[in-house]
Structure 1
Amino acid sequence: MLEDGEEIPLLGGDVTDGLVRVGGTVRRPPGERDELVRDVLLHLEHVGFEGAPRFLGVDSAGRQALTYIEGEVAGRPRPAWIADEERMVSVARLLRAYNDAVEPFGIPANAPAPIEPPGLPELDDPPELVGHQDVTPENVVFRAGRAYALIDFDLARPVSRTREVVNLMLWWAPLGPDEDLDPELRGLDRPHRCRLLADAYNLPEPDRHRLMNLTIALNTRAWHTMNHRAKTLGGGWARMWSEGVGDKITHRQTWLESNANAITTALLT
C-alpha cells in the first residue's frame, strides 16, 4: 500500500506537469505511454538493471509511483560540469547498458504509436528495441561524477539503436549552433565529442555511415511533430513552442547540413 505524505514539486521537465516527490517516491500523472513505461520498468527490475527507477504501483490519485533516485542532475542553470567529456562518455555507456538490458523485452505489438501529424515520410530505420528517446541532462542522474541512472521514460518507444545515439548526441555533443546552446556548451569540438559518444556506445560502422542522414531526417520530422503536439496537446508542448523551440529546430537543421560531413568523418576515422 502506497503511503501519502508531503508532496514536494519536482521541477525541470519540459512536458510533464504535476510531478512530485513523496518521501522516497516520485509520483507521475498519467501519460500517453503508462502501460509501456510500467512494463519496461518491471522488465528492467527483473533483469537486474540498476540504472532506472523501480515501478511501485499506482497511488490513490491514479499516479504512477516510482522510486526516487538520489544523485546529481544537470538542471538549469546548467552546472559547470555539463561539458565534461568523462561525464558525457559515462552517459553513452549508461544508455548502451539500458539498451542491452531492454532489448530482450522485445517490441510489444500494442506499443502506442507516437502522436505525430499525418503525412510524415516514413523512415528507413526499423525499430530494434524500446528506446528511452529523451536522454536530456535533466533525465540523467549522476553519482560520483558518473551517469548512474536514466529517469523520465515518458517518451519511450520502439526505435533503432542508431536513433538512440542520435538522441544522445543531440543533448550531449550537443548538436546545433552555439547561439542556441547553453553558455557552458558553446565552442566545443562537436565532431570529436560525437566520436567519443559513438565509441563509448560501441556503435557499429554501418550505423556511423548513416547516422547523420538519419539525424537530419529526424530533425525535419521534429519540427512538424513539435508543432502538432503544441496544437493538439497544449501544456508543456505549447509552452516550448511559444518559447521558440521551432526556431531552434530550424537553426539546427541548417547547422546539421553544414556539419554533417565533418561529423561523419570524425565518426569513421
Structure 2
Amino acid sequence: MHLTGEPDEIPLLGGDVTDGVVRVGDTVRRPVTSRSPFIHTVLKHLEHVGFDGAPRFLGLDAKSREILDFVDGEVAGRPWPGWVADRERGISVARLLRRLDDAMQPFGVPEAAAPGARPVGSPAPVGPPDTFVSHCDVTPENTVFRDGVAHAFIDFDLARPTSRAVTVANLLLWWAGWQHPADRDPVFADVDVAERGRELVDAYGLDRAAREWVPRVSLSIAERSWFSMKDRAERLGGGWQRMWDDGVGDAIHRREEWLRDQQGSLLDTLLM
C-alpha cells in the first residue's frame, strides 16, 4: 500500500540509532532495513491477536518508508525525567511487557527470526533456550505512557527470539538501574536496585526457575554486548558509531564488572 498527498513531515527526535524518522499526520514514517519485513510480521501478529500496546504497521509510502500509526502519550527523553525511577511506573512497564510476551507466544520462533552469526570473539549466550520473540529494547525512550501507566512499546527494531529470563533482564537493565553505579542514571540514585529488580520481576510474574537465571543472563548479555555494539558501529556507523565514540564500550565493561560482583546478592533478592 502506497499513500500520497500527505501533510507536512515533522522530524521525531530521541532515538539513538534510527535517523530519518518523521511524523506525518497520525502516522510515523521510518526508513526500512533488511529486518523490516520480519518486524512487520511481528506487528501484524500483535494486531491480529488484539494486543493494543504496539504501533500498527500500515504499509509503505511513496518514498518506500514504512508507515506506522502514531502512538500518542508521554515518552522519556534525555536527560531522563525523575519519573523513570518511579516504582509504580516501572511496575506498569513490567506488566505491559508480560502482556506483550504472552501475546507473542503463538508466533513462536520462525526461521526468519533466527539471529545472525555472532561477532568474532563474542561468547555464546548463557541461559534457557529461546521460545518466543520479544521487543528486547524496552528503554524509557521506547515506552509510551498515558496517565502515568505504560501504554505501548515502540521501535521494535531489535525484536528477536528470547526467553522469559532474557526479556526480564532487559527490563531490569533499563527500569531497575542494573548498571554499574558510575554509569547508573542519576534518577536511580536513591533506589535500591536489587529490591527494585525483585519488584519488577514480581510484577512480570516470572517463575522461580527463570528467576534463578536472571543475574547470570544479565551478565551474559553484558559480556556479549561489547562485541555486538563494536560490530554494529563498524558495520552500520551512524548512531551506533556515535554511541561507541561516546564510550558505550567502556560502560558495558563496567556493567560486566558490577554484575559479576553482585551475582549472589542479586539472586538472593530476586528469590526472596
TM-score when scaled to structure 2? 0.95
Q: Report the alpha carbon displacement of residue 111 of structure 1 after superposing the two structures with TM.
A: 2.0
Task: Label 1:115 to 1:56 Cα distance change in 2 as closer, same or farther (>3 A).
Answer: farther
Counterpart in the other structure of 2:125: 123
Q: Distance in 2 between matches of 1:9 and 1:93?
A: 31
Counterpart in the other structure of 1:134: 137
Deviations 1:74-127 (A, max 9, x none): 111211211100000000000000000011011111225246413433224311
Name which of 94, 97, 114 aligns with 1:95: 97
SS in structure 2 opposite 1:219?
Answer: helix
SS in structure 2 opposite 1:179?
Answer: coil
SS in structure 1 opposite 2:59?
Answer: strand
Q: How does 1:102-181 map to 2 (within 5 A)?
A: 102-114=104-116, 116-124=118-126, 125-181=128-184
Name which of 259, 262, 265 aligns with 2:262: 259
SS in structure 2 opposite 1:52?
Answer: coil
* Matched pairs, number: 269
Q: Distance in 2 between matches of 1:185 and 1:32?
A: 36
Q: How does 1:30-49 map to 2 (within 5 A)?
A: 30-49=32-51
Identity of aligned residues (%): 52
Task: Label 1:257 to 1:187 Cα distance change in 2 as closer, same or farther (>3 A).
Answer: farther
Unmatched 5+ stretches in structure 2: none
Q: Report the alpha carbon displacement of residue 135 of structure 1 after superposing the two structures with TM.
A: 0.3
TM-score when scaled to structure 1? 0.96
Q: Distance in 2 between matches of 1:241 and 1:116?
A: 18
SS in structure 2 opposite 1:91?
Answer: helix
Q: Which amino acid aligns with 1:138?
A: E
Q: Distance in 2 between matches of 1:114 and 1:20?
A: 29
Q: Is 1:206 aligned to 2:203, yes or no?
A: no
Query: Which region of structure 1 is more displaced relative to structure 2, 30-39 or 127-136?
Result: 30-39
Runs of 4+ with >6 A deviation: none
Q: RMSD of aligned C-alpha atoms?
A: 1.3
Counterpart in the other structure of 1:196: 199
Name which of 226, 230, 233 aligns with 1:227: 230
8 A contact 2:142–2:155 mirrored in 1: yes
Unmatched 5+ stretches in structure 1: none
Q: Distance in 1 between matches of 2:104 and 2:73?
A: 23
8 A contact 2:123–2:223 mirrored in 1: no
Q: Distance in 2 between matches of 1:151 and 1:91?
A: 13
8 A contact 1:31–1:154 mirrored in 2: no
Q: Which amino acid aligns with 2:46?
A: L
Q: Distance in 2 between matches of 1:223 and 1:118?
A: 11
Q: Report the alpha carbon displacement of residue 2 of structure 1 after superposing the two structures with TM.
A: 2.4
Counterpart in the other structure of 1:2: 3
SS in structure 1 opposite 2:230?
Answer: helix
Task: Label 1:259 to 1:211 Cα distance change in 2 as closer, same or farther (>3 A).
Answer: same
